[in-house]
Structure 1
C-alpha cells in the first residue's frame, strides 16, 4: 500500500498564498489572546479511514503541516457527533461506517487547556472541498505519511495501524 500515490486536493496560486497569510496572521493574534486568557476548551479529533485503508489528513491555512480533522465542540454537544460534524465540515464526509472511541486526552496547545475526545471513523467516503480553514486534504497510506505531520497524528495513526495501545499523551 505504501507505494501507491497519495490522493491529494490542495489550494495553490496567489489566492492560496493570500488565504494563508491572512489566516496565519489571525492565528497569531488568537495565540496572544490565549496566552493572556488561558482558556479551557473542549475539542474533538478524528482519524478518518477510507474503505481502501487510507487515512485522510488536512493541512490548515493557518499552520504548517498535516493534521487529523477536528476542532472545538459546544458545551452540550456530544463528542461523537462533534467529531462527525467536523469531518463533514473539514473534508466533506458524505458517508461513514463504524465510529470507535479512541479515548480522551488533555492537550495544551498555544497556552490553552484543551480536552480532546478522539475517534477512529472507518469506511469514510468524502468529497474534498477546501475552505478558508482547510488548505489541502489528502488520503495517505498509513506507511507513507506526508511530512511534516503533527506528532499527535503520527502517534494515533501508528497506534491504529499497528494495533498498539494508546499512549497517554496527545
Structure 2
C-alpha cells in the first residue's frame, strides 16, 4: 500500500476522532518518555498524524499501570528490547484536540531498541542532546534539557 495513502487514512481517522472529542470532551491518561541510549542520545519519533518529532508515548488502556503502559508504548513505537532503568519524573495536564490529558513522563536510561515503522510511526531516530531536530516542540525540548541534559 502506498505510504501517502496510509498517511491520508491515519490522518482522516484522527480528524474523525477530534470531531467526536469536540462533542464528548473526554479525559484521558497518557505517558511519554525521555529515552536515552547508552551513548546518551535521545530517541524521538516522527508520527504519521502529527508534524515534527515527538517523545514516544501514548495512552493508557483501561486498568493499565502507567509504567506498564510506557513499556508497551516503547515496544510498539521504537522497538524497545531492553533498558537499564525507568522512573517517573514528571506529570502534567493539558488539553489537546478537545480532550483533557493527564500525562506522566518517564526517564528511560540505557535503552536498546531497533527502530521500526508502522502505520503510526514514520521514523525513529536517536539525537545528541545538543543537536535535537527542528520540529521538536518546546515542552519536549524542556523535558530533554531537564532530564537528559
Render the CA deviation track for 1:14-51: whole Å, top value 9, x for unaligned.
82222212211211111111111100101111111000
**Is residue 161 of structure 1 aligned with residue 148 of structure 2?**
yes
After superposing on structure 2, the runs of 4+ consecutive aligned residues of structure 1 that deviate more than 4 Å are none
Asked whether the equivalents of residues 35 and 107 of structure 2 are also in contact (C-alpha less than 8 Å), the reply is: yes
Residue aligning to 2:90: 103
Cα displacement string for residues 60-107 of structure 1 (whole angstroms, at most 9, x for unaligned residues) = 111111111111102321111111110001000000011121122112
Q: What SS does structure 2 have at the residue aligned with 1:28?
A: helix
1:15 and 1:140 mapped to 2: Cα distance? 28
CA contact (8 A) 1:31 1:110 kept: yes
- Please, which runs of 5 or more residues in structure 1 have no aligned partner? 1-13, 163-170
> Counting strand residues as a fraction of each chain, which structure ranks higher?
2
1:114 aligns with 2:101: yes
* In 2: Cα distance, 1:52 partner to 1:135 partner: 23
- The residue number in structure 2 matching 1:125 is 112
* Residue of structure 2 equivalent to 1:30: 17
Whether the aligned pair in 1 keeps the contact of 2:36 and 2:109 (CA below 8 Å) is yes
Q: Distance in 1 between matches of 2:71 and 2:129?
A: 21
State the superposition RMSD in angstroms: 1.3
Residue 20 of structure 1 is matched in structure 2 by 7
Cα distance in 2 for partners of 1:54, 1:16 equals 28
Matched residue count: 149
